[in-house]
Amino acid sequence: MNSLGAMQDFPLRIMRLMDHAEREHGTREIVAARADGTTIRTNWKNLAHDARKMGQALERLGIQPIDRVATLGMNHDRHLASWFGVVGMGGVLHTMNPRLFDDQLAYIATHAEDRVLLYDAAFETLVERMKPRWPTIEHYIRFDDQFDGWLAAEDGDYSWHEGDERDPCGLCYTSGTTGNPKGVLYEHRSTVLHAMSIIVPDLFDFSARSVMLPVVPMFHANSWCIPYAAAITGLKLVICGDNHPEHLCQLMNDEGVTHTAGVPTVWLGLIQHVEQTGASLGKLEMVIIGGSAAPEATIRWFRKRGVHVNHLWGMTEMSPVGTVGAPPQNWEQMSDDEQVEYMTRAGRSMFGVELRTIDDHDNVLPRDGVSAGRLQTRGPGVLRRYFKQDHDACDEEQWLDTGDVAAIHPDGSIQITDRAKDVIKSGGEWISSIELENAAVGCPGVAEAAAIGIPHPKWDERPLLLVIRASGSNVSEQTIRDHIAAHVSRWWLPDAIEFVEELPHTATGKLSKKDLRDQYRDYRFADAVAMIGRD
């Protein structure tokens, strides 16, 4: 307290969110569609009670504050209760991605020193296989009757663990492109501030009347902070263990879903389903699309149905939301095309997220919407130091390199042009692999496309485009090339287009350029094609 007077002490601890939820909207429904086909209806009051019992149960196992408790599960009510149960007793919630490879799973659980693993019955085989490689895990609890029985032994007469607001509360590993995965250790303060920030009208626009169906896995990037944001607002949370379009549509209609969120591929599936069946989107108002860029066609499809697409950019290291494409101040004055163009950008930064772009010589670039450079960020929800590392990930001024290449427009909206490591460096300049891919998938008959740089004796690198044809299509290389030519500079045109049956993806569903580069390490352009080069 300063010497003159004072406002009150209120450590920004996550369980304050749960206290608020329990007290102010305890009866607000949480609906969970479990993997076994049953639907569970619970609420914040019950969830808080389960979290308290879990705090007791973990302490009975000898788990201490700051100890890591891991989960390996899809989205369901038991998993949600565990989020608050682990954090409530002061533990660190380590959400593991079940789609990781065995070597990665072995590494991260051991690196995290996880002491307990809560897991879905569906992953029993995986868990049994991994047990010998998880020496630190002392207790395995299955998210089924075993979990219920474990909690049933407790009475819930428990007070949340208190501590400093900078204490850690969560751990998420990012699958780096080189070396081992790195852990982002979230803190109570950073998480509460982030949750407070993302519910505002220009981000997720969550209110007590919202009904939110996150199609974001609870193991993906802090689940976009949605469970915590939900606790503040008293919205109705609808969670689902799968992302089958039919199931999502049914939940939207049955539960009156107004908001949803997920990666672009989820929506491609949903759109296809709706187009084929004529299914309704119910009361859907907003779809938040992140993880990778939302295609213009997706934006236009939802828009035509009165649903606003809120384009999100962020990263695990950012808690994870960085920018959101809510309508800007001059929205009403924009033409239809201008609005759509704006929506294809990655949005503008929220309070607490500072962004800048720098060139190869670390000069800060102007916000002119054209100059593209390495995107850097800093703020209260941004990583300073990875788990157990001995050096900061950011520089002395706290600027963290995002690994993305972007241009910032004068209105603050950003346009991600590429991942820094995926940029194709040709003749001393950059070709955006993403822009090539976007141009290619806009060509009828192209289902998916990937552009990578192939070594070239004269230009250093030149683009190779890999294309999966849409089923039934036999679109030609020339047609695709002509289509792309209408969207990019001539010297960006790929030196070759190869048709493939499939493209490699990462555990989080993104195109794996790293695998592609490995696969095409020895690829060389035919001489004739190669010499087209740059004008």
- Determine, following the binding rule CB under 8 A, whether residue 196 of this chain makes contact with its own copies: yes
CB 30 within 8 A of CB 21: no
Q: Which two tokens stand for residue 67?
A: 């100890």
Near its own copies in 139-178, by CB under 8 A: 166-168
Amino acid at 85: G
Question: For this structure, is 182 an active site residue?
Answer: no
- Phi, psi dihedral angles at 509 (to 5 degrees): 90, 5
- Determine, following the binding rule CB under 8 A, whether residue 332 of this chain makes contact with its own copies: yes
Query: Residue 184 or residue 451: which is nearer to its own copies going by CB?
Result: 184
Question: For this structure, is 396 an active site residue?
Answer: no
Catalytic member of 174, 191, 377, 508: 174
Enclosing H/E stretch for 516: helix 513-519
- Determine, following the binding rule CB under 8 A, whether residue 20 of this chain makes contact with its own copies: yes
Which of 73, 98, 183, 403 contacts its own copies by CB under 8 A? 183
- Determine, following the binding rule CB under 8 A, whether residue 189 of this chain makes contact with its own copies: yes
Near its own copies in 243-272, by CB under 8 A: none
Amino acid at 20: H
- Determine, following the binding rule CB under 8 A, whether residue 187 of this chain makes contact with its own copies: yes
Question: For this structure, is 477 an active site residue?
Answer: no
- Determine, following the binding rule CB under 8 A, whether residue 512 of this chain makes contact with its own copies: no
- Phi, psi dihedral angles at 289 (to 5 degrees): -115, 120
Dist CA 408 CA 385 (whole Å): 26
Which of 389, 482, 524, 532 contacts its own copies by CB under 8 A? 389
Q: Which two tokens stand for residue 512?
A: 């794996």
Which of 106, 394, 470, 530 contacts its own copies by CB under 8 A? 394
Closest CA to 79 of 96, 65, 57: 96
User: Looking at 45-53, 123-131, 144-152, 373-381, which segment touches its own copies (CB under 8 A)?
Assistant: 373-381
- Determine, following the binding rule CB under 8 A, whether residue 120 of this chain makes contact with its own copies: no
- DSSP secondary structure code for residue 223 in this structure: G
Catalytic member of 246, 425, 458, 498: 425
Q: Which two tokens stand for residue 259?
A: 């908001």
Query: Residue 144 or residue 354: which is nearer to its own copies going by CB?
Result: 354
- Determine, following the binding rule CB under 8 A, whether residue 205 of this chain makes contact with its own copies: yes
Near its own copies in 41-70, by CB under 8 A: 66
- Determine, following the binding rule CB under 8 A, whether residue 190 of this chain makes contact with its own copies: yes
Catalytic member of 430, 435, 448, 461: 430
DSSP calls for 341-355: HHHHS--EEPTT-EE
β partners of residue 408? 414
Query: Residue 243 or residue 376: which is nearer to its own copies going by CB?
Result: 376
Closest CA to 239 of 74, 446, 66, 416: 74
Question: For this structure, is 425 an active site residue?
Answer: yes
How long is the chain?
A: 535
Q: Within 13 Å of residue 73, how many CA atoms lie on the same side as its CB?
A: 29
Q: Among all residues, which ones are annotated catalytic?
A: 174, 317, 425, 430
